[in-house]
Each structure stands twice: as C-alpha cells, then as structure tokens.
A and B are shown apart, each in its own frame.
Chain A
C-alpha cells in the first residue's frame, strides 16, 4: 500500500472530501436561501468581504436599518457591525403579513490583514452597508519586478 499517497495533503481521498464539503457549502446555503429559511433575525445580515491591493471592503445587507442605529467598530483586527431595526408599521395600518420583522444583530469579522483604523469609512447605499478599510502600509501588496542577471 502506498502510504505516502495518503499522507500527502493533496491525496485523492482528501480531494473527494473537499469536493463534497464544497458542494454542501455552496448548495445548502443556496437551497436554504431559496426556500426562504435564511432569516437575518437568526443569522445576522449576509456579509461579503472583498480585498484588493490596498483595501478591504465589507458589504452587508441591511435594508431598512437607519444609519443612526448602526455601530461599527474596528479593534484587534476585528470588524464588528451591530445594530437594530424596529418594525416600521405605517400609521393606522393593520398588518396582514409580516415577513420582515424586527432585527437586532451583531456580526464580527476577523480581518485578514492589519488595517489603518483611523481611515475606515462606512457608507450606506440602497440598503447595503459598505465599509472600506485601507490596509496598513505593511500589509499592502507590493509587486516586485524580477530582474534578470
């Protein structure tokens, strides 16, 4: 038996397992979302984390959350978004159906690099919060030219 093959991290067995994990990681959330089981009240808002050479960007879906009800903190390489949304019932109206509901949330994201805490910006666009975190100068990607000789 070729034990060496099993000890290699990239062995066939691991690849299959990784494939199955990946399938569940992608299909299950899609399925759950599609049948309407994701609930910001239970899971917190959905968050994207995007990186380019100089900055990190965090996007969070927060429809109907007022800016004054939001609190964003950065400490110890962790971004925390917390806030609340109350039920907005129009005046004198009777609810016939309420699928949106109240929302109290707190989400923390570990950031992959050091960021410049003083230069973090947050904007709310169309119900999506967009936080821009400039990377600390030591964490920025620098392209190094390869010279011949």
Chain B
C-alpha cells in the first residue's frame, strides 16, 4: 500500500490514502514502546536515512542478510570514498564524523547497514557489484539469483541527483530538496511503509517552434527520484510539504515530540 502525497504551494497538502490496512508502525502514541537497540550500534532506527535509487535497494536487501566480512568492508569504505570527492561530509547518527564511534556498547560484528545509517551519502562506487560478489559464494538462495544482474549493472533508469539537506529540531525533521524548475504538479511524494520517495519529472521549458539551442548545460528533461528510509520516530501521516523557489520543504513531525527525557516507571514491591 502506498500513500501518494500531492505537494501544494505554500500550504498544507491534501493526502490521498490508498486502500488496505495501514502499514505504519507506531500509529498512535500508545503503540509499542520504542526500543533503542539497533543491529550494529548505530542509531539507525531513528531519524532519516538515504537509499540511492540505482544501487541502494539491492544492497540494502543484501545488508539485512549481512553475515560476511566483505560487506563490513563496504561500511568502512563508503565514507572515505565520499570524502575523496570533497562533496559530502558524512555525519553519523551520534553526531560524530567517525564511522566507528558507537552510541552503544560493542555487540559483536552485526549486520552492517551502511545505507540505513545517517550521513552515509554515497555508496561505494562498486557497492552493488561487491554486494553481488559477496552474496554469491556464501549464500545463494534461489531468489537472490535474479537480483544479480541488477546488482551488477545497476538500474537502467538514469535519474538526476537531488541535493538534500536534512535538519532536526525537537519537534520535527526538516528536509530541503533542490528541485529547480519543478512546479507543484511535477513532484510526487510517495510514502510506503518506512520509505519516503521524492519522485518527479521536471518538464522542459516550451520554446517557440523555430528556436535553437546554442548551449545546454541544464538537462531539458529531468527525472528525479530519491528514496529515504524513515525511522519509526517519524509521524508520516502529518508530513507537510511545500514547494517554493525551486526548494521542496518537507516537514516530518516526530512521534512523541517534546518527550526528550526518559520516563521513570515506579515498580511496586510485591
């Protein structure tokens, strides 16, 4: 079940809910208590993390199985490579730039979830290939086989990169995405389970019939797609999206906003 959200200009949008029963966890405040334990000690369960459309998905699938040190190598590699391009400053969920600074005691070598960790903005250039490589010899369930070509060659659809800022305050997460030239009807925000996808096709400007293009740096037709994984502390239902001056602003309220301190529960003596 997917929820498709339409972006409105500078106002709260309408939501069109799909059919079927909701897949959201923590619909209400009284839902299951939050746990802070994550598989690898990173605070991956909370906040927002990134999945690159072309390479990310098969890798994430692999990572969740993750049992091989080779994939752990990806985890160590990705931030370094991103730095080499001079573009990304990886900041991890605990606020440090060190990939190995853990928020929790070491629990052994666990499934590395590079793509579910905040701040890892770019996968290893050969991540998909390496993941495929790592999958094949040690675990070859039949259903993995058909994923292989996609893992090896990446997705065939070329999508443009959407630069994104993510901010957090006490009550909400704020996403700012650059979509120059996009009008409201060009952009869709799709929420399905824990994933939030910003998807759109930015149409080219219509020029007169006899016009000629002398210089083209800006692609005439832009197809954009970027998927983020939301933590369970995000209230997706109350998401608010506005588009102004080519910047898409998405506000994601936090569940239990304002409850920053843990509550002490009194245990009665028997």
Interface residues of A in 58-95 (CB under 8 A from B): 59-66, 88-95
- Contact status A47-B168, CB under 8 Å: no
CB neighbours of B220 from chain A (8 A): 48
- Contact status A99-B168, CB under 8 Å: no
Cβ of A36 < 8 Å from any Cβ of B?
A: yes
Given contacts A52-B208, A64-B246, contact A96 B48 (CB under 8 A): yes
- Contact status A50-B207, CB under 8 Å: yes
Q: Per-residue 0/1 for A97-126: is the Cβ within 8 Å of any B Cβ (1 yes, 0 no)?
A: 111100000000100100000000000111
Segment at the B interface, from A1-9, A14-22, A27-35: A27-35
Most buried by B among A100, A109, A112: A100
Q: From residue A25, how far is it (CB to closest CB) to chain B in Å?
A: 11
Cβ of B135 < 8 Å from any Cβ of A?
A: no
Cβ of B161 < 8 Å from any Cβ of A?
A: yes
Given contacts A33-B219, A99-B121, contact A93 B212 (CB under 8 A): no
Cβ of B165 < 8 Å from any Cβ of A?
A: yes
Complex alpha-carbon distance, A112 and B212, angstroms: 12
Complex alpha-carbon distance, A118 and B133, angstroms: 63
Interface residue tally on A, bucketed by range: 35 or more
- Contact status A112-B91, CB under 8 Å: no
Residue of B nearest to A107 (CB): B217
CB neighbours of A128 from chain B (8 A): 180-181, 205, 246
Which listed residue (A29, A33, A48, A96) contacts B91, Cβ 8 A? A96
Residue of B nearest to A36 (CB): B161
Cβ of A49 < 8 Å from any Cβ of B?
A: yes
Which listed residue (A60, A88, A100, A109) contacts B164, Cβ 8 A? A100
- Contact status A90-B169, CB under 8 Å: yes
Q: From residue B13, how far is it (CB to closest CB) to chain A in Å?
A: 17
Most buried by A among B50, B160, B220: B160
CB neighbours of B119 from chain A (8 A): 96-97
CB neighbours of A66 from chain B (8 A): 245
Complex alpha-carbon distance, A30 and B174, angstroms: 29
CB neighbours of B122 from chain A (8 A): 35-36
Complex alpha-carbon distance, A93 and B160, angstroms: 28
Segment at the A interface, from B20-28, B82-90, B101-109, B189-197: B82-90
Given contacts A93-B169, A95-B165, contact A126 B178 (CB under 8 A): no
Residue of B nearest to A91 (CB): B169
- Contact status B245-A94, CB under 8 Å: no
Q: From residue A7, how far is it (CB to closest CB) to chain B in Å?
A: 30
Cβ of B134 < 8 Å from any Cβ of A?
A: no
Residue of A nearest to B178 (CB): A63
Which listed residue (B118, B161, B173, B179) contacts A33, Cβ 8 A? B161
Complex alpha-carbon distance, A95 and B164, angstroms: 11
Complex alpha-carbon distance, A37 and B87, angstroms: 8
Most buried by B among A66, A91, A97, A109: A97
Complex alpha-carbon distance, A70 and B220, angstroms: 23
Which listed residue (B118, B161, B168, B208) contacts A35, Cβ 8 A? B161
Residues in chain A within 8 A of chain B (CB atoms): 29-30, 33-39, 46-53, 57, 59-66, 88-100, 109, 112, 124-128, 130
* 17 intermolecular pairs with C-beta atoms under 8 Å apart: A34-B160, A35-B122, A47-B217, A48-B216, A48-B220, A52-B207, A61-B181, A66-B245, A90-B169, A94-B167, A94-B168, A95-B166, A97-B166, A124-B245, A126-B246, A127-B246, A128-B180
